[in-house]
């Protein structure tokens, strides 16, 4: 069984979304059907969801739920530390449950694929930044942009190095 600290409480990952619902109640929030549906939509998601994607999943269960309710619920869950918000593909915010293993993101600039990577994969970066630049980095959530293997393979043979450089150029 894996325990992770979330919003000042320990939660068992095996308890799934029921543990999150219990956290809402324990912190004095009402457990509304809308909040339960939002948590369930995020729990069942394979990756990150936009508020609109959460809304579409919730509407399949209850067509009377309003988009503003989804936004308010996501904001409450974010404030509680149950949901994290990030912007990996442009200005649109994406949400995911924080009870999943902590991770960083690799974002393909070409196809917009998002690849989760474990914090251990960047374990030396914090020490390097501190040693070389005397900078104590907060690496809680890092987004690195570039090309996924499929897009890099398409760009490099087709037009040589310049296409790869163009695709990875910061915007």
The residue among 37, 67, 97 that closes a domain is 97
- List the pLDDT tens digit at each of the 171 positions of the chain: 222 333 333 333 435 677 778 888 888 888 899 999 999 999 998 778 999 999 999 999 999 999 999 999 999 999 888 888 887 767 788 898 876 666 788 888 888 888 888 777 877 888 899 999 999 887 777 788 899 999 999 886 655 455 555 555 665
128 and 80 assigned to the same domain: no
Instruction: Note if the pTM is more than 0.85.
Output: no
Co-location of 110 and 26 in the same domain: no
DSSP annotation string for the chain:
--EEEETTEEEEGGGTHHHHHHHHHHTT----HHHHHHHHHHHH-SS-EEHHHHHHHHHHH-TT--HHHHHHHHHHHHHHTSEEEE-SSSSS-EEEETTSPP-EEEEETTT--EEEE-GGGGHHHHHHHHHHH------SS-EEEE--HHHHHHHHHHH-HHHHHHHHS--
Same domain? For 64 and 7 the reply is: yes
97, 118, 148 - which closes a domain:
97
Q: Which domain holds residue 109?
A: 104-168
Q: Which of 97, 114, 149 is the last residue of a domain?
A: 97
């Amino acid at each position: 069984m894996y325990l992770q600290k979330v919003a000042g409480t320990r939660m068992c990952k095996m308890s799934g979304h029921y543990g999150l619902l219990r956290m809402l109640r324990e912190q004095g929030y009402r457990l509304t059907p809308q909040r339960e549906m939002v948590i369930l939509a995020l729990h069942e998601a394979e990756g990150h969801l936009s508020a609109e994607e959460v809304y579409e999943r919730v509407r399949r269960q209850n067509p009377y739920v309003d988009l503003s309710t989804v936004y308010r619920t996501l904001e409450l869950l974010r404030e509680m530390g149950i949901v994290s918000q990030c912007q990996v593909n442009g200005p649109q915010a994406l949400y995911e449950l924080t009870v999943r293993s902590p991770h960083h993101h690799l974002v393909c600039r070409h196809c917009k694929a998002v690849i989760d990577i474990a914090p251990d994969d960047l374990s030396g970066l914090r020490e390097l930044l501190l040693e070389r630049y005397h900078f104590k980095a907060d690496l809680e959530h890092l987004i690195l942009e570039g090309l996924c293997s499929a897009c890099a393979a398409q760009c490099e043979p087709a037009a040589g190095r310049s296409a790869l450089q163009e695709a990875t150029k910061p915007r």
